[in-house]
Amino acid sequence: MLTIDARGLSCPQPVMLCKKKIDAGEEEFTILVDDPCAEGNIKRVGKNNNYSLEFIDKGNDEKEIILKKEVVNNV
């Protein structure tokens, strides 16, 4: 699975990396962050674009966020 390393990047670069992948139609990818601000931004942009998010604590303040495109049911 595609993994993006956004650790240590200043705001708003982590969320921009995430947004680029969403805009490119990437259905499933992982993003590594070490900043609570970046984490909140990614959570928001993911939810706004119908992605499910899973957060895995990697220790030393690092988190792996797995984003998966949710199938939108239009029925």
CA-derived radius of gyration, the chain: 12
Binds other proteins (CB under 8 A): choice among 1, 25, 57, 60: 60
* Stretch touching other proteins by CB under 8 A, among 31-39, 50-58, 63-71: 31-39
User: DSSP character for 53?
Assistant: E
Binds other proteins (CB under 8 A): choice among 26, 30, 45, 69: 45
User: DSSP character for 66?
Assistant: E
CB-based contacts of 41, cutoff 8 Å, min separation 6 = 11, 12, 14, 15, 18
Is residue 40 part of the contact set for other proteins (CB under 8 A)? yes
Binds other proteins (CB under 8 A): choice among 8, 27, 55, 56: 8
